[in-house]
Amino acid sequence: MRQHTQPHTRQPAGRVVVALAGAGVRRHTTDQLILDGIDWTVRSGEHWALLGANGAGKTTVLRLAGALMHPTTGTVEVLGHRLGRVDMRELRAHIGLVSSAQKVPLDATGHTVVLTGATGTVQPLWKKYDAAVRERAYELLAELEVKELADRPYGVCSGGQRARLLIARALMADPSLLLLDEPFNALDLPSREDLIDTMHRLATGRPELATVTVTHHLEELSPAIGHALLLRDGRVRAAGPVAEVLTDARMTSCFGRPIEVVRHEGRWLARSGRRSG
């Protein structure tokens, strides 16, 4: 029987936190190839954007990085531990995951939502939360600038408020890695800009934290994003510093149509150019 090791809780600055080597994923029911030969490395303190059209494999890459599934081929190491040789549940305790699809009780207050991040549960486990844990939840509400939501039911919060509550919840475990799966989904312009500001402050205030953000729109990237991974049909089209990856040519190759990219004061804008002929 294979022994599972216990994950480390902290990663030194610059250390590899995610490493995919030849990682592939095939859907067993249909034999469909979802990912093919993905090589990708994320280090502590780096902030990555994960981009590609629908069906490119973005969410699957995020699930591998979040220790939510195993690769069919190749290897995946997260926080220094290879998937398949570590207790996945223990490993996930050191990874923050934010997704608009997360199930949260609508009657739970903002403070309760954040508290559940300490136990990784949907419903609160009240006996597990001592005074220090409860106080930490209040501190995170303040850090994310939503302390006024402490007693407000989650169900009446706006999309932007919910996103920041979920980020605060993910930070309760003091993760080394924060994964965000389309956190800007369905947000209006002011809420989007508030969340971008939040992500920028978070990156500045937590220099060891690594983040990976899945998005469809370059306009949603904060100036803190320094790296990008482009996926198309389950394969890497480009990966590296944003200045080298988010170019007209590489975005055009990734999305299969002419794309023009502009950067202004650390923010990005992409639009579809005219087709020739």
Could you tell me if residue 5 is inside a domain?
no
Per-residue pLDDT at 5? 44
> Based on the domain organization, do 169 and 182 belong to the same domain?
no
> Based on the domain organization, do 160 and 197 belong to the same domain?
no
Question: Pick from 174, 196, 212: which residue ends a domain?
Answer: 174
Match 């650390």 to its residue by tokens. 266
Amino acid at 175: P
Could you tell me if residue 77 is inside a domain?
yes
Could you tell me if residue 276 is inside a domain?
no
Could you tell me if residue 231 is inside a domain?
yes
Taken in order 198, 201, 206, 211, the sign of the CA dihedral is: positive
> Based on the domain organization, do 85 and 150 belong to the same domain?
no
Whichever domain contains 37, its CATH number is 3.40.50.300
**Mean pLDDT in consecutive groups of 10 residues from the start of the chain, 277 residues:** 44 79 89 91 96 92 93 94 87 87 90 92 89 95 94 93 93 93 87 91 91 92 95 95 95 93 91 67
The two structure tokens encoding residue 124: 């609160």
Per-residue pLDDT at 88? 84
> Based on the domain organization, do 187 and 72 belong to the same domain?
yes
> Based on the domain organization, do 87 and 211 belong to the same domain?
yes
> Based on the domain organization, do 202 and 265 belong to the same domain?
yes
> Based on the domain organization, do 83 and 193 belong to the same domain?
yes
| Residues contacting residue 121 through CB under 8 Å, at least 6 positions apart | none
> Based on the domain organization, do 66 and 190 belong to the same domain?
yes
User: 3-state class of 188 per DSSP?
Assistant: coil
Question: Pick from 153, 174, 195: which residue ends a domain?
Answer: 174
> Based on the domain organization, do 158 and 212 belong to the same domain?
no
Could you tell me if residue 24 is inside a domain?
yes
> Based on the domain organization, do 202 and 244 belong to the same domain?
yes
Per the structure, the complete domain to which residue 195 belongs is given by 17-94+178-271
Number of domains in the chain: 2
> Based on the domain organization, do 156 and 195 belong to the same domain?
no
- Burial call 78-115: b when 16+ CB within 10 Å, e when fewer: bbbbebeebebeebbbbbbbbbbeeebeeebbbbbbbb
Per-residue pLDDT at 32? 85
Could you tell me if residue 116 is inside a domain?
yes
Could you tell me if residue 3 is inside a domain?
no
Q: Residue 251: count other Cβ atoms within 10 Å of its Cβ.
A: 23
Question: Pick from 174, 193, 227: which residue ends a domain?
Answer: 174
> Based on the domain organization, do 147 and 258 belong to the same domain?
no
pTM: 0.88
Could you tell me if residue 10 is inside a domain?
no
